[in-house]
Amino acid sequence: MKILINGGRGNISWSLTQLLAKKGHSVVISAKNKDKNYLLPKNVELLFFSGNSFYEEANKKLDFFDCVVDFICYNEKQAMENFESLKEKVSHYFFVSSVTVYSKPSLSPISELSKKNESKWSYARGKQLAEEYFQSVWEKFEFPVTIVRPSHTYSSIFPVNIGNGDWTIPNRILNKKAVLLSGNGTSLWTLTHSNDFAEALYMLIEKKAGIGEDFNIVSDFVYTWNDIYNLIAEKIEAPSKPKIKYISASDLMKNLPYYAPSVVFEKQWDGVYDTSKLKKVIPEWKSCINLTSGLDLVLNFFSENKSLLIKTDQVIDKFMDQF
């Protein structure tokens, strides 16, 4: 198949790019930075673009795509532009949304039928409005869309409660410095390795399944945040258990407003999901990578990219140093 990925090199999407290439598909992925050194499988092509013109550039290369997977559509405006560019040029379009569209707190496990929110978090609200638009063009025009919702998914980042997943939190744990968790660290949280997400999405692509449907693609592995940080400490061979301190969502919003929304609207609550709908369509899929194995893969990634081991977030460091 000729498969177009808007994204393709990110924390979630790179696993899918590699899997599709390994399976012999012809893959085109997007990139904005011509100077970056991309090491790609031989059947993966990089398509450079500027602004929001990715699909315009793609349409110049090929009249029709068997499948398009969009990891970087974030709002209704982008959804509308994507539909207009692709409405007669794709057999199957996957919109990668997010479980953040569900209301929190919510009864667990959260299924595709659970209540959606009207979140004050712009990221979640944008994803929800994009979903609603794609659902409308499926109903009106039979645009062949499938909506998939990953949860907290990791491969090239550490799964952390506060921060962006870089070396900051592990570095603080190694140096016996305080690390902050929201609430009391006991909320239940689902972590999915990108390889598991990619396997499920690949199966949907291969089966041409789920047009007009939506699916949670999340792991069956659930942890408390306290457990997650203790396991990170163990894996990085920290000299002692992490020095965990707790902070309220309101104090976090006041002091770290950039990082607070994902905690205030998501991570302070339980995030446990029902994947029975997905498993009815692809019963052969199951999540295989638990956090123990997943952190080994993350550490391998960091060891192969040693420049990441010296990058820490000074804003987070400065604030957490107060505890």
Together in a domain, 48 and 61? yes
Segment 70-74 shows an average pLDDT of 95
Same domain assignment for residues 100 and 228:
no
Tell me, what's the pLDDT at 134?
Answer: 99
* Domain coverage including residue 297: 157-190+222-272+292-320
pLDDT at res. 52: 61
Please tell me whether residues 82 and 201 are part of one structural domain.
Answer: yes
Per-residue DSSP letter, 114:
S
Nearest residue to 319 via CA among 178, 182, 183, 173: 178
My answer on whether 127 and 141 are in the same domain is yes
Share the mean pLDDT of the chain: 94
Q: Which of 128, 160, 156, 129 is nearest to 259 (CA)?
A: 160
Write down the pTM of the prediction: 0.95
Residue ending a domain, among 217, 233, 254, is 217
| N- to C-terminal Cα separation, the chain | 54
Q: Higher confidence at residue 70 or residue 31?
A: 70
The answer on 49 and 6 residing in a single domain is yes
pLDDT band of 38, cuts 50, 70, 90: low
Give the model confidence (pLDDT) of 262-309 as tens digits: 999 999 999 999 999 999 999 999 999 999 999 999 999 999 998 999
* Model pLDDT for residues 148-164, shown as the tens digit of each residue: 999 999 999 999 999 99
In a domain, 278, yes or no: no
Shared domain check, 91 and 130: yes
Asked if the structure places residue 287 within a domain, the reply is no
Q: Let me know if residue 277 belongs to a domain.
A: no
* Cβ-contact 173, 233 below 8 angstroms: yes
Measured CA to CA, the distance from residue 149 to residue 145 in angstroms comes to 13
At 59 the three-state DSSP class reads helix
258 has pLDDT over 60 = yes
Does residue 184 lie within any of the structural domains? yes
Residue with tokens 């870089």: 166
Q: How far apart are CA 98 and CA 84, in angstroms?
A: 23
Three-point CA angle 86, 90, 94, nearest 5°? 90
The CATH number assigned to the domain holding 161 equals: 3.90.25
CA–CA distance, 52 with 47 (Å, rounded to integer) = 13
How far apart are alpha carbons 72 and 264 in whole angstroms? Answer: 23
- When divided into structural domains, the chain yields a total of 2
Please, are residues 128 and 115 in contact by the beta-carbon 8 Å criterion?
Answer: no
Asked whether residue 186 falls in the same domain as residue 204, the answer is no
Note the pLDDT tens digit of each residue in 182-212.
999 999 999 999 999 999 999 999 999 999 9
pLDDT for residue 233 is more than 70: yes
Which of 199, 217, 235 is the endpoint of a domain? Answer: 217
6 shares a domain with 39: yes
- Between residues 278 and 120, the one the model is more confident about: 278
How long a stretch of residues is the chain? Answer: 323
User: Crossing angle, helix 194-207 and helix 13-22, to 10 degrees?
Assistant: 50
Same domain, yes or no, for 115 and 205?
yes
Query: pLDDT value at position 37?
Result: 59
Average pLDDT over residues 253-265: 95
Q: Is residue 50 part of a domain?
A: yes
pLDDT at 34 (0 to 100): 59
Task: State the pLDDT at residue 48.
Answer: 79
Asked if residue 178 is part of any domain, the answer here is yes
Same-domain pairing of 205 and 67: yes
Q: Are residues 303 and 209 in the same domain?
A: no
In angstroms, the CA 302 to CA 304 distance is 5
Cα separation, 231 vs 227, whole angstroms: 6
d(CA 139, CA 20): 29
Q: Which of 178, 201, 217 is the last residue of a domain?
A: 217
- Output the domain CATH number for residue 39: 3.40.50.720
The answer to the question of residue 285 being in a domain is no
